[in-house]
A and B are shown apart, each in its own frame.
Chain A
Amino acid sequence: MIETDQLTRCYGNLTAVDALSIRVEPGQVLGLLGPNGAGKSTAMRMIAGFLVPTSGTARVCGHDVSREPLKAKRALGYLPEGAPSYGEMTVREFLQFIVRMRGLKAEAGYRRFEAVAQQLQLEEVLGLCIDTLSKGLRRRVGLAQAILHDPPVLMLDEPTDGLDPNQKHAVRQLIDVMARERTILISTHLLEEVHALCNRVVIIARGKLLADATPAELEARSRYHGAVSFSAPGSGMSQEMLGRLPQVASIEIDPLDGRITVFPKPGERILDPVERLLREQGLEVSEIQLERGRLDEVFRQITTSGDGADGFIGGAA
């Protein structure tokens, strides 16, 4: 479990994290989302005990990070931003250093080392110098370091940054498997990642918490939520016909590919009526899609509007 209470951090006049209160329970994967410079990494650094909060508290598994730092750190596996590691060491030396630092006994430590190296597919590079590894491999070494002691709480700062799609998939699967009994906090600016991984999203900007909801709830805030889009080649398809449907609020046509998006009035379902109308008109529709809502649009809307907070907070717990 991770809890922060009014967690605040100032750098001179700049408030990087502003009274942030969040609570992540076991079984949850919370995605900390925000534009660059929103305070994601600063918040994580305070929870990890690297930075001292200007005010407020953070607790990991009930241990206050300022009063019981060692207990909090033992319960936490942490991947810092950029996955730093000692470049002159080989992967094996580095992970064995972490085994010793984590106080794992020789035999148990070796078993964990083997298991983690296999999980992250590091077996072939164990003898290589970390400096010579690709960015993706280095990130995996960082992840291995974070999960080596099998911690109940995991905090990963941009875990898939720099990975190719296959590696991203592998890391997401790993997190998925680990998520069942653990508390996981990840920061990211990849919205696809939120879909793939998180069952809860917290959006922050300029250090302030702006939204706390499930991905589905956020999508429902999008004006695309429940909209229907389709491509009808050569459609002289009159917009009037669609516009006359009682459930339809507006229609947009993409100037580039001519794709038509039909927006519903609040609370209306329009997939069936639109489909029926298209069939009645005998229009050839190559493909039709019901939109779930676009997170990127919601993200932009929340993080760029003045206070942004209007009723987004609450929901998932």
Chain B
Amino acid sequence: MSPVSAVLRRELRSYFVTPVAYVFLVIFLVLAGILTFYAGDFYERGQADLQPFFVMHPWLYLILVPAITMRMWAEEAKGGTLELLLTLPLTLWQAMLGKFFAAWLFIGLALVLTFPIWITVNYLGSPDNGVILAGYLGSWLMAGTFIAIGACLSALTRSQVVAFILTALVCVLLILVGQPQVLDFFSGTVPRKLINAVAHLSMLRHFEAIARGVLDMRDLVYFLLSMVGWLVAGVLLLDLKRTR
């Protein structure tokens, strides 16, 4: 078995041995439900789709993904197991990918477990299930980007609290940066071209595009590149730590 899958299995198992997995799943599912039906006006809108459900995902991930990723490297650095792991015959990349995919698969599981909402909307009306599938895909890609950010920032520090706060901060910036309020605020002082460029970095914009059911290559590339970029940064950080 390759080192990547060995790390992946160990990570996944550690989620489920400790209460992390169950706490996460329960809170994620309960919050997703409450936010969709109460805050999202699921019934009052009178439309058979899952827009109110997906709109809440960035905000759910903002709190819950850093809680999953904060321990990824910080805990190993603090507990000394980093030395054990990195003196086993695997590359930093393999270790990073194993941990990343474990978290990403786990969020995938959480998304799959929201299927009652999908059943509900199909029972109540006849939604476009293609759009819903696209929404799930977009949500999962966005979660992957959050995880990659968290994986990188967890490698930065031995403190899980610091890793959590930094990850949440970067994620909220990436959510908000494309919002009209934020762009308007800077429109007087910053050149128009720069504002447009920054707006394209907005995670929300790309997520909403996919969630509408429009699978544009640019949105997919945005998420994939973000993930790769943050993971590369994380590996470089880990490597840097070995020389300091």
Q: Residues of A with Cβ closer than 8 Å to B?
A: 11, 45, 48-52, 69-70, 73-74, 76, 78, 80-82, 84-89, 93, 97-98, 100-103, 145
**Given A73-B89, A97-B10, residue A88 in contact with residue B17 (CB < 8 A):** yes
Please report the number of residue pairs spanning A and B whose Cβ atoms sit closer than 8 angstroms: 70
- Complex alpha-carbon distance, A11 and B14, angstroms: 34
| Shortest Cβ distance from residue A159 to the other chain B in the assembled complex, whole angstroms | 15
| Shortest Cβ distance from residue B150 to the other chain A in the assembled complex, whole angstroms | 20
**Interface pair A93/B79, CB less than 8 Å apart:** no
Kindly identify which residue among B17, B84, B91, B242 contacts A80, using a CB–CB cutoff of 8 Å.
Answer: B84
Kindly identify which residue among B3, B5, B79, B91 contacts A84, using a CB–CB cutoff of 8 Å.
Answer: B79
Kindly identify which residue among A70, A86, A97, A98 contacts B91, using a CB–CB cutoff of 8 Å.
Answer: A70
| Shortest Cβ distance from residue A158 to the other chain B in the assembled complex, whole angstroms | 13
- Complex alpha-carbon distance, A78 and B87, angstroms: 8
Residues of B within 8 A of A89 (CB): 10, 13-14, 17
**Given A50-B242, A51-B242, A86-B14, residue A103 in contact with residue B89 (CB < 8 A):** yes
Q: Which 8 A-B pairs have the closest CB atoms?
A: A84-B80, A100-B6, A73-B89, A48-B87, A52-B243, A80-B83, A101-B88, A74-B89
Residues of A within 8 A of B6 (CB): 97, 100-101
A-B contact pairs, 16 of them (CB 8 A): A45-B83, A48-B87, A49-B87, A50-B242, A73-B88, A81-B80, A84-B80, A84-B81, A86-B14, A87-B79, A88-B17, A88-B18, A93-B13, A97-B9, A100-B1, A101-B3
- Complex alpha-carbon distance, A101 and B5, angstroms: 9
| Shortest Cβ distance from residue B29 to the other chain A in the assembled complex, whole angstroms | 24
- Complex alpha-carbon distance, A100 and B244, angstroms: 30
Cβ of B90 under 8 Å from chain A: yes
- Complex alpha-carbon distance, A51 and B90, angstroms: 15
**Interface pair B10/A86, CB less than 8 Å apart:** yes
- Complex alpha-carbon distance, A86 and B9, angstroms: 13
Cβ of B169 under 8 Å from chain A: no
Residues of B within 8 A of A51 (CB): 242-243
- Complex alpha-carbon distance, A192 and B80, angstroms: 28
**Interface pair B81/A85, CB less than 8 Å apart:** yes
* CB-nearest residue of chain B to A157: B83
Cβ of B86 under 8 Å from chain A: yes
Residues of A within 8 A of B7 (CB): 101
- Complex alpha-carbon distance, A81 and B80, angstroms: 9
- Complex alpha-carbon distance, A8 and B91, angstroms: 23
**Interface pair A70/B89, CB less than 8 Å apart:** yes
- Complex alpha-carbon distance, A88 and B79, angstroms: 12
**Interface pair B86/A50, CB less than 8 Å apart:** yes
**Given A93-B13, A101-B6, residue A49 in contact with residue B86 (CB < 8 A):** yes
Residues of A within 8 A of B87 (CB): 48-50, 73, 76, 78, 80
Residues of A within 8 A of B242 (CB): 50-52
Residues of A within 8 A of B3 (CB): 100-101, 103
**Interface pair A86/B86, CB less than 8 Å apart:** no
Residues of A within 8 A of B91 (CB): 69-70
Residues of A within 8 A of B88 (CB): 73, 98, 101-102
* CB-nearest residue of chain B to A100: B6
| Shortest Cβ distance from residue A15 to the other chain B in the assembled complex, whole angstroms | 15
Apart from A49-B86, A49-B87, A73-B89, 12 more pairs, CB < 8 Å: A50-B242, A73-B88, A84-B79, A84-B81, A84-B84, A85-B81, A86-B14, A88-B14, A89-B13, A100-B1, A100-B5, A103-B89
- Complex alpha-carbon distance, A52 and B84, angstroms: 15
| Shortest Cβ distance from residue B75 to the other chain A in the assembled complex, whole angstroms | 10
